[in-house]
Amino acid sequence: MTMKIRIVFMVMLLLGAFYFTFFYTEEKQAADRDNVRLTETGDLPVDVASAHTVTVKLERVYLDGEISEEVVQETIWSMEDFWAAYAEWQLIDMTEEEVIFQKQVDDISPLLKTNGYFGVSENGVLSIFNGKPGQAEIIQSFFQIDMEKLESNSHETLLKGIPVKSKQKFEEVLESFKPYSVLE
- pLDDT, one tens digit per residue, over 107-120 is 998 988 888 999 98
Mean pLDDT value across residues 148-166 = 86
Mean pLDDT value across residues 35-59 = 65
pTM: 0.60
> Which of 3.30.70.1740, 3.90.320.10, 3.40.718.10, 3.40.50.2300 is the CATH number of 110-180?
3.30.70.1740
> Which of 3.30.9.10, 3.10.20.420, 3.30.450.40, 3.40.190.10 is the CATH number of 47-104?
3.10.20.420
Helix extents (H) in the chain: 2-19, 25-35, 79-85, 110-115, 152-160, 167-177
pLDDT top residue among 30 and 72: 72
> Of 102, 106, 112, 118, which is closest to residue 66 (Cα–Cα)?
112
